[in-house]
């Protein structure tokens, strides 16, 4: 009896999960790219500050806190017309989830980013057209957070909720530079003043 109940529950769970499996593959294109993706016909209540991606009228749309078509669901691929991959990732009920990658047309990686419920979360890596890392850092709720390293500029910045955090060391260095600049300006001013004074004295001596 217990085995039968477990079997029935398993069947119900399987049936319910099947309701969210992408049922319809779409293939569309525009002047720049070709797209392959799945859609899901399911009514949901959009959440605030989430960008939903949906399909209608032969076009993919993105709307903040709104839906007016079939939600993208499952694997998503975007191609250059050369058949080279341009972008690949996963949707769940119209929201980006998991690892997303983009490529340059020469096949080199452009970006790798992590998503959760439609928001960037975790590590993101940016590459140049030769495939070398140029910047790496983390996102929290779609904004930069934590340490970001820029290898091209040879610079490291720390972010908190999308804003740069100035460390005490950098702040002290900046204050020192400002003080040095002020001192330099004062010295320069007195040099000019002394020069004018000396010139005036010299002219007085030359006068009959």
Ranges assigned E (strand) in the chain: 24-29, 33-40, 51-56, 59-64, 70-80, 85-92, 95-103, 109-116, 119-127, 133-140, 143-144, 146-150, 155-160, 163-165
With bands split at pLDDT 50, 70 and 90, how would you rate the model's confidence at 16? very low
Domain boundaries, the chain: 22-97, 108-188
Q: What is the pLDDT of residues 116-159, one digit of tens each?
A: 999 999 999 999 999 999 999 999 999 999 999 999 999 999 99
Residue spans of alpha helices (H) in the chain: 2-18, 168-206
User: Residue 66 is encoded by which pair of tokens?
Assistant: 């709104």
Q: Is residue 186 pLDDT above 70, yes or no?
A: no
pTM: 0.71
């Amino acid at each position: 009896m217990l085995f039968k109940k477990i079997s029935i529950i398993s069947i119900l769970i399987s049936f319910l999960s099947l309701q969210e499996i992408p049922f319809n593959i779409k293939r569309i294109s525009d002047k720049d790219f070709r797209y392959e993706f799945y859609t899901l016909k399911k009514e949901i209540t959009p959440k605030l500050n989430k960008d939903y991606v949906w399909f209608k009228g032969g076009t993919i749309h993105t709307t903040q806190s709104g839906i007016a078509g079939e939600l993208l669901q499952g694997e998503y691929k975007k191609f250059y017309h050369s058949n080279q991959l341009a972008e690949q990732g996963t949707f769940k009920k119209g929201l980006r989830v998991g690892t997303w990658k983009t490529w340059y047309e020469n096949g080199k990686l452009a970006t790798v980013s992590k998503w959760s419920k439609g928001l960037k979360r975790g590590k993101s890596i940016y590459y140049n057209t030769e495939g070398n890392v140029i910047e790496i850092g983390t996102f929290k709720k779609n904004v930069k957070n934590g340490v970001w390293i820029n290898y091209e500029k040879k610079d490291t910045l720390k972010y908190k909720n999308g804003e740069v955090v100035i460390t005490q060391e950098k702040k002290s260095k900046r204050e020192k530079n400002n003080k040095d600049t002020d001192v330099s300006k004062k010295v320069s001013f007195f040099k000019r003043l002394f020069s004018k004074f000396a010139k005036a004295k010299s002219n007085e001596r030359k006068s009959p």
